[in-house]
Structure formats: C-alpha cells, structure tokens
A and B are shown apart, each in its own frame.
Chain A
C-alpha cells in the first residue's frame, strides 16, 4: 500500500522536472570532436592534399566503400586521381582513419547525410576534400622523417637527424645544437 502511494508520488513529481529528451532538429546534439560521422579528406597546413593515394584506407575498409586511383604530380608527389566513398555502404567504423599514414582521411561529427536519391550518397573527391587540416592542424606528412619531396631537405624534418657523413671520421658530425632544438 505504502509502496503504491510512494510510486504514484514519485512519478507525479516528474511533472516539475525538465524532460531529458533532446528536441533534435531544433536542438542539435553536442557531439564530441572524435565522433565518427561523415568522412572528409584534409589538407596539410600548406594547403596541399594530404592524401598520398597509398590505398591503405581502401584496404582497411571492412565494407569496401572506398575507391581511389593513385597518380603522380610533376614534382613527384603522389595524389589520388579520383577518390570515391560510397556512404550508402559506409558503416562509419573509422578503420580508414586509423589506417591512414598521413592523417588525410578523417571522420567528423556530422551525421546529417540523408538523401532522397541513393546515388547521391556516393561522394567524389571534390565533395570529400575540405580546405583545412582537420584534427591535426600542424601535421605535414612530408615534413616528417623521410625522403626529400621538395618540402624539406633531407635531415631537416621533424624527428629526423641529419644523415651521418660517411666520409668524415670526426664524431662532431652530429650537430648537438640542432638535436637539442628538435
């Protein structure tokens, strides 16, 4: 008897409490930055495409929704000739983002991708490519350790030592000051 009255009271009191419903179309949900939504292709801080068309994202994709074809620019830098994501297949798992060595492919907190026409779910490169660097604002793949591609000289990249001068016998070939700077 007491429990019945108590239940009635506790339920009744809810009238004075704010509903926990989010009124979605008017009230947008606050999604975290790492939410896995619409996929974008980012650019490095200099404005060049980050994607080097390595195909790792396409290989990692469990539903095979990514298609791309590599090409080489005049300056020797690789880029995708086309880059196509079929969002009617995509399951927003984020495997592509994990696989990407250059931080080019990233998932964003945008999920409002409904379309009337199924063919509109296929995004081409011009739809995917954004103008900014996305989640890693200062990262430039070509400035990291690695071969010279016209962005940095060999040995001047981040986390990279100058190459050892094989012709010298002196130990001072490693510039201690430069190492400290990095």
Chain B
C-alpha cells in the first residue's frame, strides 16, 4: 500500500518537477541569453522579471488557436501532444534520487532511446499535416538529422552500459560511486551531448526550425497552445537531455554533504546552462555539414569508443 502511494507520489513529483523546470526555462533561457549578450533580458514583470513565465503563459493561452484549412486536422491536432507525451514518458526512467524514480525499468536506457525516437513522429507528422512547404522542408530535415544523430547517441551510451553492466539507470548511477563515467568515457560524453542537442534540435542544431531559412520549420502553421506544446516539449527535451547526461556521465544524484536530490538538481541545472550557452554562442551549420560531421566524425569515434571500452572490460575480466 505504502509502496503504491510512494510510486504515485514519485510519478507526480517527476512529472510536475519536469514541467515546472521546463516552464521556468522560458524565463531562465531568455535571461541568460540576455546576460550573455550584455543585456538584461526580461526583468520588468515581477521581481527580477520572474512573472514573465506567467505573462507568457497567459498570452499563449489567449492566442487564437487557428488550424489552417489546408491542414490534415486530426494529425495536425495530435502531433504537438506526441512530443510532449514522449518526452514526459522518458522522464519516467530518470532517477532523481535513490528513492524518487517513477519506474525502475531494467531496460531504462533503451526506453529513453525508444521514446526519443518516437518524438520524431511528432515533428514529421506535424510538418506533413500542416500541408505547406516550409513545415514539410523542416520535417524532412528533422528526419535526416534526428535519425542519424540518434544512432550516435545510442552508440555513445553503449560504453557506459559496458562499464556499468546494466541498462537500469539507478544501477548506472550506483556504478559511478568510485569514478564518474565522464572520465573513462570522455568521447562518449562529448558525442552524447552533441547527439542529444541535435536530437532535441536545439541551437546550434536547430535546422528543422531555422528561422532564417524555413520561417519556423515544422511548427510554422501552429499557433496558440498547440505551438505552446511544441515549445514546452522543446524545453522538456533540454531538461531530459541534461538529466540523462548527468545520470549517465556525472554520477546522477551522487555527491557529498548535500542530499542526493539537490545534487541531481544542481548538476542538471549546470548542464541546462551549458546547453543554453551553446545557443548563445554557436552558429548553425548547414545540413550537409551536420550530416558529414555526424557520419564521418562522430560515428567512427563512437564505434572506436565501444571497441576500446569493450576490450578493456574483457581484459580486466
């Protein structure tokens, strides 16, 4: 009985925690981008501009929710929900602390990879159902980009799995008690971070959206709360990739003095800030540069990393 209650509580904590952090990112990101370009960012609404989140929410709720007449209505309405749901589902396996985890799946890592692959459907269907050219171009790009980068992201975590000997994320964190995996798996970490940023199509890999060439890419035709769902889904993606990076490479909740949950939060926040820093400083590559970099640089490094890690693991055994 208590265990059921606790797991329901954990689910609620993980879900609302993720959504609240993602919503607050609307403010945090704009503020950080401002500071990094020597501006202030939003600082008018409320103390330090904190109510900007509320203002943005009110605005997006009251916007006209328009569905273009040439759109494929059911698919058009469904696709924003898909990205939101798939990203939230991935949070299910992320362990916030030894006790707060929604589900201790033994295939946790695979579940995360599967869910992030399903997220592609949202963008593909959204772009296709919009029935106009820029969304379609954006979604075609996103298929190429996300499918290829998911491959590298999946390959990069194999090294971690080899070291930890488990797909269960709690076990992976526990295996890092002596040494964070970022040290023995440095190339895997770099590939995972790059692949992760590409999979959630954040800048500098925002080719599916690419304001300067594709208007707004796959969500050009979306407005109101449907656009808001895409938007929050993107921020949830940042939180997810940060949480996964911390779990896989930076020892998750592990850390001295502070409670485990706080450690997890701090590490994730640092990773989120790093991803926002990418946006603030790096220019967007062309699609061919992106794919060349992926297949000709990241893929060999990832395979080499698996080879070396596997060989060392075997030798130690």
User: Which residue numbers of A lie inside 8 Å of B, CB to CB?
Assistant: 4, 7-8, 10-12, 14-15, 17-21, 23
Q: A4-B282, A7-B281, A7-B282 are in contact. Are A12 and B36 (CB under 8 A)?
A: yes
Count: A-B pairs, CB below 8 Å: 34
User: Which residue numbers of B lie inside 8 Å of A, CB to CB?
Assistant: 34-40, 277-278, 280-282
Asked if A11 and B39 sit within 8 Å, CB to CB, the answer is no
**In whole angstroms, how far apart are the Cα atoms of A43 and B158 in the complex?**
85
**In whole angstroms, how far apart are the Cα atoms of A19 and B34 in the complex?**
9
Q: List 19 A-B contacts (CB under 8 A).
A: A4-B282, A7-B281, A8-B277, A8-B282, A10-B281, A11-B277, A11-B280, A14-B36, A14-B37, A15-B35, A17-B38, A18-B38, A19-B39, A19-B40, A20-B38, A21-B38, A21-B39, A21-B40, A23-B40
**In whole angstroms, how far apart are the Cα atoms of A54 and B317 in the complex?**
103
Residues of chain B lying within 8 A (CB to CB) of residue A17: 38
Tell me how far the C-beta of B282 lies from the nearest C-beta in chain A, rounded to whole angstroms: 7
**In whole angstroms, how far apart are the Cα atoms of A66 and B275 in the complex?**
57
Residues of chain B lying within 8 A (CB to CB) of residue A15: 35-36
Residues of chain B lying within 8 A (CB to CB) of residue A18: 38
Asked if A14 and B282 sit within 8 Å, CB to CB, the answer is no
Asked if B34 and A11 sit within 8 Å, CB to CB, the answer is no
Tell me how far the C-beta of B52 lies from the nearest C-beta in chain A, rounded to whole angstroms: 16
| Additional pairs, 6, CB under 8 Å, beyond known A12-B281, A19-B35, A21-B38 | A12-B36, A18-B38, A19-B34, A19-B38, A19-B39, A21-B40
5 nearest interchain CB pairs?
A11-B281, A7-B281, A14-B36, A19-B38, A21-B39
Residues of chain B lying within 8 A (CB to CB) of residue A10: 281
Residue of B at shortest CB range from A12?
A: B277
Asked if B38 and A14 sit within 8 Å, CB to CB, the answer is yes
User: Counting chain B CB atoms within 10 Å of each CB, which of A7, A11, A15 scores highest?
Assistant: A11
